[in-house]
Amino acid sequence: METAKYKRLLPPMRGLARDFYSYCKKHELRFQKCSGCGAWRHVPREMCPDCGSFDYQWAKSAGKGKVFSWSTTTQPMLPQFADAVPYATVIVELDEGVRMATWVVDIPPDQLQIGMPVEVLFDDVTEDVTLAKFRPRKQA
Amino acid sequence: MHPLKDKACIVGVGETPYTRGTDRSQLSQILHATMAALDDAGLKPHDIDGMVLPMPMPTVEHLAANLGIPDLRYSASSNIGGAAPVAAVQTAAMAVALGVAKHVLIPVGWNAYSGAGVRGAGRSGPVGLPPSFGLTMSEYYMPFGLAVPAQWFAWLATRYVEQYKVGLEGPAAVALAARKHAQLNDKAFMRGRPLTMDDYRNARMIAQPFRLFDCCLETDGACAVIISSAERARDLKQPPVYIAGAAEGHPLPADDIPGRKDFFKIGLFFAAPKAFEMADAKVSDLDFVQIYDCFTHIVLLELEALGCCKPGEAWQFVQNGRIELGGDLPFNTHGGLLSEAHVAGVNHIAEATRQLRHQCGERQVKDAELGVVTGFGDFGDGSLIVLRR
C-alpha cells in the first residue's frame, strides 16, 4: 500500500467537494446536472448559474473527452510536487461539456496537443482519496 | 454625460524605494508611502477621511491608528487581487464625488521578496489563500499541483499561443519594452540591468510558456495614491489629474478558469467599453497605457480587451517599437511589474499621474493628455481607469 508515502496535496473533504471526490473513490466520474434546465456543471455549485435552480443530480460522465489546454510546471513551485517536475496540469473538456483540471498520464507534457482524445482513469492516491486522471485514447 | 466623469482627481502619489530586502514591515512601508503621497498632494494625515484598501492587511483600523486620523468617515475594501487598486480608484471617486469623504487614501505595501511571496503558496496551504479563489484552488487545482499565478495563467497562455500561433517575439516585445523603459526610471528595480532578446530567449522556463522574463518581479515596497473631488483638487499642490472613466469587469465564472465558455474573455473585455464610453474617449485617443503586467502574454490579452487590435493579433501589434516610448502607444513607461516593482499596480496609477502632470523627465510621453491604467487579478478580474490632465 502506497498510502503512507503519498506526500502531495489532498483536497479538503467538505461540502460539495466531498461529494465529488466520494464518487471518484467509487471510481465514478460524476458532475452536477441541473434538474431545472439540464445543464452540466463543474466546479460544483449550490445553484445553477444558467437557470437559478437549486436542484441537481450527480450525473455519471462517460469519462471521455479532449485536451483543452495545459500548464507545464518546470520550476518546483510547490514542495509537495517538487519530485514531479516537469508535469502538466491539464484542462480536459469532457464530452458532456464540462471542463476540469487534472493530469494526463502515460504521456510527457511536451507531447500534449489541443484536441487530443483522452479517457478517465482513477488513481487511489490514499485510502480516502481517489483522483480522476486521464490517459490518451485511440479515437473511435 | 456620465455622472462620475471628471468629478474626482488623483491629487497625490508616493512610494518607498523598491528593493529586495528591507527592515520595514509591510505596515511601515505603507505608512512611508502614504506620507510621501500626502507630501506630494500638500496634505496632512488628518486630512485623510476615507480609505479603500486593495489588500486585506493591514486593516483600515491599523492605518488610521498609526496615521492619527481623527475622523475616518468612509472605508471600503476591494478583494480582487491585482485588479483591486484600479477598481478602488472607482470606489474612491464615487465617495469623494458624492461628498461622503474629502480625501481618500489607496495604499498597497507588499514585501513580496522578503515576506509572503506567491512562491510560498504551497507551504502556507489552503488557509493562506485569498477567499476569492482559494476554495476552487484548494479543492480542484492543488491536488494536481497547481497553486500559483504563473501556473494558472499558463492555462490561458498555452491555448492562446497554440490557437493564434503566437510567435516568441510577441511576449518578448512586451518584456523588452518594459525593461527598456526601466532604464529611464531611477525608482525601477531593474534600472542598470538591460535585457536583450538573447537573454529573454535563453532564460529558464518557469511554467510553460512563461520564461523567467515573462514573469513580474517580486520586490519589497509600497505605493499610495490619494483621490479628492475635482473641486478640492484645483486648490491642492499638484495639477489635477481627472478620472474621466472607470469600470471593473469579471470573467464568467470568475472563480474557476477551466469552466469558462469563452476562455479568453478576461474581465477587462467587459470593463473597457464602459470606461471608454464614460470618458467619451477612444483607444486611438490614448497617449499611453499602463497595463497590469503580471505576465507578458496577459499584457497581450489586455491590449486585445482594450480594443487595440483584434483577438489573437496583439503579438503582432506590439512589434516594431509600437509600445515603446516614441511609438504609437507607449506602455508601462516606468517599467511596470516586470521591471519597476510589484506593488499590485498602484505604481501604474502613480506613473500615469506623473505622465499627465508632465513630471517624467527623460521618459516623459510628449504632450501626454490622456492615458489608461488597467488592473488584472485573481483568476482574470479586470479594471481600468481613463485619466486626463
Least confident of A10-24, B94-108, B128-142, B333-347: B128-142
**CA proximity to B75, closest of B93, B92, B58, B55:** B92
CB contact under 8 A, A100 and B140: yes
A30-34/B50-53 β-pairing: unpaired
Rounded to a whole number of angstroms, the distance from the CA of A131 to the nearest CA of chain B is: 8
Give how far Cα A100 sits from Cα of A62, B87, B286, B298, B310, Å. 14, 30, 40, 22, 28
* Residue A127, domain member (yes or no): yes
Mean pLDDT value across residues A92-119: 98
Does the pLDDT value for residue B351 go beyond 80?
Answer: yes
CB contact under 8 A, B256 and A43: yes
Confirm or reject contact between A126 and chain B (CB < 8 A): no
Confirm or reject contact between A42 and chain B (CB < 8 A): yes
Residues A33-91 pLDDT 10s: 999 999 999 999 999 999 999 999 999 999 999 999 999 999 988 999 999 999 999 99
Confirm or reject contact between A72 and chain B (CB < 8 A): yes
* Count of other CB atoms within 10 angstroms of residue B253: 16
Mean model confidence pLDDT for chain A: 95
* Residue A35, domain member (yes or no): yes
Confirm or reject contact between A68 and chain B (CB < 8 A): yes
Mean model confidence pLDDT for chain B: 95
Confirm or reject contact between B148 and chain A (CB < 8 A): yes
For cell 502531495, the residue is A8
Confirm or reject contact between A89 and chain B (CB < 8 A): yes
Contacts of B204 in chain A (CB under 8 A): 74-75
| Nearest neighbour of B122 by CB, restricted to A79, A89, A103 | A79
Residues B242-289 pLDDT 10s: 999 999 999 999 999 999 999 999 999 999 999 999 999 999 999 999
| Nearest neighbour of B206 by CB, restricted to A74, A103, A109 | A74
Does the pLDDT value for residue B324 go beyond 90?
Answer: yes
**Phi then psi for B75, rounded to 5 degrees?**
-145, 145
* Count of other CB atoms within 10 angstroms of residue B122: 20
* Residue A47, domain member (yes or no): yes
> For chain A, what is the domain count?
1
**Phi then psi for A66, rounded to 5 degrees?**
-135, 150
Residue of B nearest to A82 (CA): B145
CB contact under 8 A, A71 and B208: yes
Rounded to a whole number of angstroms, the distance from the CA of A94 to the nearest CA of chain B is: 11
Mutate to test the interface with B, among A77, A91, A105 (most CBs of B within 10 A): A77
pLDDT (0 to 100) of residue B302: 98
* Residue A6, domain member (yes or no): no
Q: Which domain holds residue A129?
A: 13-136
Q: How far apart, in whole angstroms, are the C-alpha atoms of residue B386 and residue B83?
A: 15
Mean pLDDT value across residues B346-353: 98
CB contact under 8 A, A101 and B146: yes
- DSSP assignments along B64-107, one per residue: HHHHT-S---EEEE--SGGGHHHHHHHHHHHHHHTTS-SEEEEE
Q: How far apart, in whole angstroms, are the C-alpha atoms of residue A105 and residue A67?
A: 12
Q: How far apart, in whole angstroms, are the C-alpha atoms of residue B228 and residue B48?
A: 10
* Residue A2, domain member (yes or no): no
Residues B36-47 pLDDT 10s: 999 999 999 999
Q: What is the percent of chain A where pLDDT is above 70? A: 96
**Phi then psi for B387, rounded to 5 degrees?**
-115, 145
For B109, the enclosing helix (H) or strand (E) is strand B103-111
Residues A84-100 pLDDT 10s: 999 999 999 999 999 99
Residue B60 and residue B356 in contact, taking contact as beta carbons nearer than 8 Å? no
* Residue A4, domain member (yes or no): no
Q: What is the 3-state secondary structure (H, E, C) of B283-312?
A: HHHCCEEECCCCEHHHHHHHHHHHCCCCCC
* Residue A50, domain member (yes or no): yes
Rounded to a whole number of angstroms, the distance from the CA of B332 to the nearest CA of chain A is: 27
pLDDT (0 to 100) of residue A49: 96
| Nearest neighbour of B259 by CB, restricted to A74, A99, A103 | A99
| Nearest neighbour of B144 by CB, restricted to A12, A17, A89 | A89
Rounded to a whole number of angstroms, the distance from the CA of B178 to the nearest CA of chain A is: 24
pLDDT (0 to 100) of residue A5: 82
Contacts of B123 in chain A (CB under 8 A): 79
Confidence band of B195 (pLDDT split at 50, 70, 90): very high
Residue of B nearest to A49 (CA): B253
- Rounded to the nearest angstrom, the gap between the alpha carbon of residue A47 and the centroid of all alpha carbons in its chain is 21
Confirm or reject contact between B360 and chain A (CB < 8 A): no
Q: How far apart, in whole angstroms, are the C-alpha atoms of residue B336 and residue B272?
A: 20
Domains of chain B, CATH where assigned: 8-114+216-388 (3.40.47.10)
Q: How far apart, in whole angstroms, are the C-alpha atoms of residue B4 and residue B247?
A: 11
Residues B98-157 pLDDT 10s: 999 999 999 999 999 998 656 555 444 444 566 667 789 999 999 999 999 999 999 999
Q: What is the percent of chain B where pLDDT is above 90? A: 93
| Nearest neighbour of A73 by CB, restricted to B139, B145, B263 | B145
pLDDT (0 to 100) of residue B115: 81
Contacts of B255 in chain A (CB under 8 A): 43
Give how far Cα B139 sits from Cα of A18, A100, B117, Å. 9, 12, 22
CB contact under 8 A, B147 and A77: yes
* Residue A1, domain member (yes or no): no
CB contact under 8 A, B146 and A73: yes
Residue of B nearest to A13 (CA): B139
Q: Taking CB atoms and an 8 Å cut-off, how many pairs form between chains A and B?
A: 119
Residue A99 and residue A42 in contact, taking contact as beta carbons nearer than 8 Å? yes
Output the nine-digit C-alpha cell for B232. Answer: 478640492
Contacts of A49 in chain B (CB under 8 A): 253
Confirm or reject contact between A111 and chain B (CB < 8 A): no
